[in-house]
Amino acid sequence: MSAKDVDLTGLPTAAPSAPSNGPLRFADVAVTATTREFQGIYRGKQYHPPDFHSTLERAAKAGVKKVMLTGMSLQDVEVNQSLVASNPGQCTLTIGIHPYHAAIPEHEIDDTMQELAKRVAEALAQVPSPISAFGELGLDYDRVNHASKEYQIRVFKAQLELFAKHDWQLPLFLHCRAAFEDFVDIIKPYLPNLPKGGLVHSFVGSVAEMQTLVDLGLDVSVNGFSFQDRDSLDMVAAIPLERLQLETDAPWGEIKATSNLAKRYCINAPPLPASKKRDKWDAGSMVKERNESCSMHTVAFVVAGLKGCSVQEVGEAAWRNSAGMFGLADVTLGRD
């Protein structure tokens, strides 16, 4: 079954109303700014100039107050730091090694961890500090062609040990895809000592798996990938508001306007900016089939529709949770 034909039987049928208390505000907690798509490169061909700054302008107009730039590898750090320096009020970053980049030979692990520790310490020492989380770290068994399970597990454990050793006052930015049991078994011993909790981002899974994460004290964030199968739709509907965060996972995770999900729940959402094909690019338009932070309201409307609540409730809960965990604003969490 395709994403646009996902089974909606038994789910709420009402579309959330447009916000009645003014524009929504968002923190997009997962954007990979270092990808080729934001450099204008698609399938190895250059179609247009780098344009990430244009996406940030569109995001700001759409109420996206904060954008967290995901660190996939050590090679991302300098690029992301430069983007934060150019957009200090809007952007922060994470530093870590994604499971896709975990194919590190065993004899190089110690040196890699030393370099990772150096990069995190340098970022924390800056005033104001650009770093808002340690990660992205975790497991992804859907893509073992990038790094084997053995490599992924070794690098995941090494990063958790590094984090525990240095006692950095940061939350964890976590990845778990098709590896739930191993993920929980590995991270569980570290959870009692996390200084600021953690977020399992772009989560796809069952209600029971989500509940396990929440019971462990972790937050869960969702995007278009979380809406592509029925189990995950039921999971999204069941996430407690106090543990919910939202993201686009741009440039991926697009929610297509032609999907039955968008047709049901997004009819009252603000329209997205105009988009053009990559070979017709201009700086003022989105690129077709490339996701951006300005689509955050689409995520919020789908979540609100699935939960049968107002988009204001969803948007404000997610903002509060993200801002509180990642230090993006002065907020009171209201948690025990």
Q: How confident is the model at residue 329 (pLDDT cuts 50, 70, 90)?
A: confident
AA identity, residue 219: D
- Mean pLDDT across 208-234: 98
> What's the pLDDT score for residue 316?
97
> CA dist 139 to 144, 202, 216, 217, 226, Å?
10, 13, 17, 19, 17
200: nearest Cα among 130, 136, 131, 293: 136
Q: Is the pLDDT of residue 4 over 60?
A: no
Q: What are the pLDDT digits (tens) for 235-256? A: 999 999 999 999 999 999 999 9
In whole angstroms, give the CA distance from residue 311 to residue 299. 10
- Residues marked as binding for a divalent metal cation? 136, 175, 201, 249
% of the chain surpassing 70 pLDDT: 97
* Residue numbers of the domain that contains 194: 3-326
Q: Where are the alpha helices (H) located in the chain, listed in sequence order?
A: 52-61, 77-86, 109-125, 149-166, 180-187, 207-215, 230-238, 260-265, 296-307, 311-326
> What's the pLDDT score for residue 66?
98
Q: Would 214 be classed as within a structural domain?
A: yes
Q: Would 195 be classed as within a structural domain?
A: yes
AA identity, residue 209: E
Q: Rounded to a whole number, what is the largest CA-CA distance in the chain?
A: 58
- Mean pLDDT across 21-36: 95
- Residues marked as binding? 136, 175, 201, 249
CATH number at residue 322: 3.20.20.140
Q: Is the pLDDT of residue 2 over 70?
A: no
% of the chain surpassing 90 pLDDT: 94
Q: Would 331 be classed as within a structural domain?
A: no
Helix (H, G, I), strand (E, B) or coil at 17: coil
Q: Would 333 be classed as within a structural domain?
A: no
Number of structural domains found in the chain: 1
Q: Would 91 be classed as within a structural domain?
A: yes
Overall pTM surpassing 0.85 (yes/no) = yes
What mean pLDDT is reported for the chain?
95
Q: Is the pLDDT of residue 330 over 60?
A: no
